[in-house]
């Protein structure tokens, strides 16, 4: 007899940052052209505003997404990701004449419980395209928050975390060495 286990509830607290990762199903691409990236980012901005999540860092890779964010209420991350997923998957399936799931199950998330871990997440997320060999320096990758966080470029999605701002003011370099 098979035993079916209910999913465990996510551990989520208001005002505690989270590192969120969502992968394409079977590690297949979830972005095929520039319009896909732009659509996802518009959806991310809308869903974050609708559900009270502050996005601190992000990178959209070909087959997965990393987000560093802080929810203002319990459950906000799940609601944001649900809204974002529904809108984006519908768009993607229509745009690319496909059907079915796009994401590999539920998104993964980890609470960010220290200043050091927060700053490490910023670096990890924004250096992802460099580690993947897609670009030589993070500023050369268009689909991340690096341009805003490292050099103050415009990005309406990003709300820098207070710890990040404090570290930048205290002479900690905002450029991320390799």
119 and 167 Cβ atoms separated by less than 8 Å: yes
163 and 115 Cβ atoms separated by less than 8 Å: yes
pTM of the model: 0.91
User: So what's the pLDDT on residue 1?
Assistant: 64
Tell me 136's DSSP state.
S
User: So what's the pLDDT on residue 116?
Assistant: 95
**Domain annotation for the chain: domains and CATH numbers:** 18-169 (3.30.70.1290)
In the chain (178 residues long), the average pLDDT of successive 10-residue segments reads 73 94 96 98 98 98 98 97 97 97 94 96 98 97 97 95 86 44
User: So what's the pLDDT on residue 7?
Assistant: 73
């Amino acid at each position: 007899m098979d035993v079916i286990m209910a999913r465990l509830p996510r551990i989520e607290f208001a005002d505690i940052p989270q590192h969120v990762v969502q992968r394409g199903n079977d590690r297949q691409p979830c972005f095929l052209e520039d319009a896909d990236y732009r659509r996802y980012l518009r959806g991310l901005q809308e869903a974050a505003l609708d559900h009270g999540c502050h996005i601190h860092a992000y990178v959209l890779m070909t087959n997965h997404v990393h987000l560093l964010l802080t929810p203002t209420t319990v459950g906000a991350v799940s609601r944001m990701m649900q809204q974002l997923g529904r809108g984006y998957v519908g768009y993607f399936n229509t745009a690319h004449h496909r059907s079915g799931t796009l994401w590999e199950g539920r998104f993964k998330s980890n609470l960010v419980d220290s200043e050091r871990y927060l700053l490490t997440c910023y670096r990890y997320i924004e250096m992802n395209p460099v580690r993947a060999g897609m670009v030589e320096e993070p500023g050369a990758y268009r689909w991340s928050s690096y341009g805003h966080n490292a050099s103050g470029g415009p990005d309406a999605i990003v709300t820098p975390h207070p710890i990040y701002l404090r570290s930048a003011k205290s002479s900690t370099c905002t450029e991320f060495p390799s």
